[in-house]
Amino acid sequence: MEKVLPQILSLGVDPAVMEFLSKEIPTCKMDVQPYDLKYFEAALTPSPVAIFCGLPKAELEMQVAEVAQALRMIYNSIPIYFVSIERTSFNRKQLQKNGFTDAFLMPSDQSVFIETIQKMLSALGELKVYRSVRLMDIPSENVLGFDLYLHMPANNKYVKYASSTDVLSEKRLERLHSYEIATASVSEDQMKQFYDFTAAQLSRLGSSNKISETQKKELRENAVRDLFTGIFGEAGKDDTIDKGRAVMNDCQEVIKSYILNESESKNTWFDKIMNVASAAGGAYNHASNVSTYAALFSIGLGIGKPDEIALAALLHDIGMADIPLEIAVKSERERTPEETKAYQRHVMLSVNMLKEKKLMVPENVFKIIAQHHERFDGKGYPDAIPGHRFMKEAQILAIADQFDYLTKVQAGKPAMMPMAAMEEILRRNSASKDEVFYDPQLLLQISNLFHVGKKAA
């Protein structure tokens, strides 16, 4: 018998978003429709498992808030998501108050959107989703409590490596290490068990953290997401100095609570890096991870002001919100020269967005952001200026950015162990005299911090 796929009703969603979604979630049947008043009369039978809504056009004569209210009154219990590429009218909290389960602004929210849908389908039992976890989070002496899988890239299959009742022996872990396997997978429905396991592990190790790394990660992600949508949303209408000041306060709060707080904890420098690197990847982790790494590099080297670097790192990619979705979702290799050019504009867009929002940030923060894709050999963008002419802080941010990319646990790419990632950055930087990405002196100093830290650990 042919399997009946769950049906999602999509109303008036931007075609670029739909194209992106159809690639990402093939296990659903999408009923893609323009808005029509008939959808606001009564529930469809059978009911869709979820509804996606785009920004309604004027001819519908309904505001987005009314769409949310009406659909929510028709469908009490299914998720209804708003997804838009229009950042000027985006106010996540308001949209949720009117009845949407959540609201996603593309392309910034692409990963968190996909994750949300996967979780939903996984809860419906429609989709087996696997999350990558780091083997270093799994000590050998305890019963797992969750099944552990290995991903086989050749046929894209997941093979069970250990059962929930198993204790992973030191020998088996070592064997995986010898194959340079640093990550394994846990199915979405058992992620809670995995998090409980790692939280128990943390408390056994006498970690000073009162809340688990998972909760901390979620809090941090939510804070960063709220902060960003606060910056993106409702352009022009109230871009006053006061609003800029309020956003700035939020930034500083995030940095104080989640970033510098990490660097001020009693942990050693190396442990702090490891703590951040070991958290399972989340959609909004990149900004806060890079911010933490950059602040720690700055503190470790005594170069620049850590809070300025942390702020620049937190905001360095917000301009990505204005890059067309179809370009943002492509990998570097897939982009045409024109698309590459458009993509590279995100640097100046970040700076412009901060200025447009009247964020009172120190001039240095603008400079660090503007130069974070410049290269030591002068082959970077946007200005292709050579290393001796731009700020060391921008290089610190660039190295932190790359370090997070290499270590991040993310579908579709292998994650490296932190030490290996640092070695890889060094290797690439010295492989050819014609390709020098980062200041070799500075990079060596950072890598030394890792070596000294590792020895002490």
Partner 1 sequence: MFAPNTKILVVDDMLTMRKLVIKICKELGFSDIVEASDGAKAFELISSTQPGFGLVISDWNMPQCTGLDLLKRVRVDSRFSQLPFLMVTAEAEQHQIMEAVKAGVSGYVIKPFTGDQLKEKLTGVYQKHFAQKAS
| CB-nearer residue toward partner 1: 61 or 363 | 61
Helix axes 392-407, 418-430, angle to 10 degrees: 120
283 token code pair: 């959609």
Contact call for residues 35 and 57 (beta carbons, < 8 A):
yes
For partner 1, the binding residue among 69, 252, 340, 364 (CB under 8 A) is 69
Size of the site for partner 1 (CB under 8 A): 18
Say whether residue 420 binds partner 1 (CB under 8 A): no
Which residue, 1, 64, 10, 11, is CA-closest to 36? 11
Instruction: Using the rule CB under 8 A, give the single segment among 60-68, 197-205, 311-319, 374-382 that binds partner 1.
Output: 60-68
Instruction: Using the rule CB under 8 A, give the single segment among 40-48, 82-90, 127-135, 155-163 that binds partner 1.
Output: 40-48
Least Å distance, CB 65 to partner 1, is: 6
| CB-nearer residue toward partner 1: 38 or 266 | 38
For partner 1, the binding residue among 7, 94, 252, 267 (CB under 8 A) is 94
Which residue, 315, 289, 297, 295, is CA-closest to 307? 295
| CB-nearer residue toward partner 1: 98 or 298 | 98
The residues near 286 (Cβ < 8 Å, ≥ 6 apart) are: 317, 404, 408
For partner 1, the binding residue among 16, 74, 135, 173 (CB under 8 A) is 74
| CB-nearer residue toward partner 1: 37 or 360 | 37
Instruction: Using the rule CB under 8 A, give the single segment among 12-20, 69-77, 143-151, 340-348 that binds partner 1.
Output: 69-77
| CB-nearer residue toward partner 1: 24 or 66 | 66
- Binders of partner 1 in range 96-115 (CB under 8 A): 97-99
Say whether residue 37 binds partner 1 (CB under 8 A): yes
45 token code pair: 């039978």
Say whether residue 245 binds partner 1 (CB under 8 A): no
Least Å distance, CB 32 to partner 1, is: 21
- Distance separating alpha carbons of residues 128 and 122, to the nearest angstrom: 6
Least Å distance, CB 286 to partner 1, is: 32
Surface-to-core class of residue 306, CB atoms within 10 Å of its CB (0-12 exposed, 13-18 middle, 19+ buried): buried
Least Å distance, CB 82 to partner 1, is: 14
Phi, psi at 286, each rounded to 5°: -55, -50
Least Å distance, CB 36 to partner 1, is: 11
343 token code pair: 């993509």
Say whether residue 68 binds partner 1 (CB under 8 A): yes
| CB-nearer residue toward partner 1: 41 or 264 | 41
209: left (phi over 0), alpha (psi -120 to 50) or beta: beta
Under DSSP, the state recorded for 30 is: E
Maximum CA pair distance of the chain?
68
For partner 1, the binding residue among 18, 65, 199, 301 (CB under 8 A) is 65
For partner 1, the binding residue among 70, 135, 136, 452 (CB under 8 A) is 70
109 token code pair: 């929210």
For partner 1, the binding residue among 40, 158, 161, 405 (CB under 8 A) is 40
- Binders of partner 1 in range 123-152 (CB under 8 A): none
For partner 1, the binding residue among 1, 3, 23, 42 (CB under 8 A) is 42
394 token code pair: 């921008």
- Distance separating alpha carbons of residues 144 and 304, to the nearest angstrom: 43
Sign of CA dihedral 427, 429, 430, 434: positive
| CB-nearer residue toward partner 1: 4 or 42 | 42
Contact call for residues 377 and 435 (beta carbons, < 8 A):
yes
Instruction: Using the rule CB under 8 A, give the single segment among 66-74, 187-195, 234-242, 431-439 that binds partner 1.
Output: 66-74
Least Å distance, CB 224 to partner 1, is: 25
Instruction: Using the rule CB under 8 A, give the single segment among 94-102, 116-124, 150-158, 166-174 that binds partner 1.
Output: 94-102
Say whether residue 79 binds partner 1 (CB under 8 A): no
Could you give the C-alpha distances from 206 to 168, 200, 266, 439, 454, in angstroms and in order?
22, 10, 12, 38, 20
| CB-nearer residue toward partner 1: 76 or 156 | 76
Contact call for residues 371 and 269 (beta carbons, < 8 A):
no
β pairing state of 130-134 and 183-187 = antiparallel
For partner 1, the binding residue among 5, 19, 73, 457 (CB under 8 A) is 73
Say whether residue 66 binds partner 1 (CB under 8 A): yes
The label of the residue with tokens 């958290």 reads 279
The label of the residue with tokens 């002196």 reads 441
The residues near 64 (Cβ < 8 Å, ≥ 6 apart) are: 53, 55, 56, 82, 89, 95, 98
Report CA Rg, the chain. 23
| CB-nearer residue toward partner 1: 94 or 252 | 94
**Binding residues vs partner 1 (CB under 8 A):** 37, 40-42, 62, 65-66, 68-70, 72-74, 76, 94, 97-99
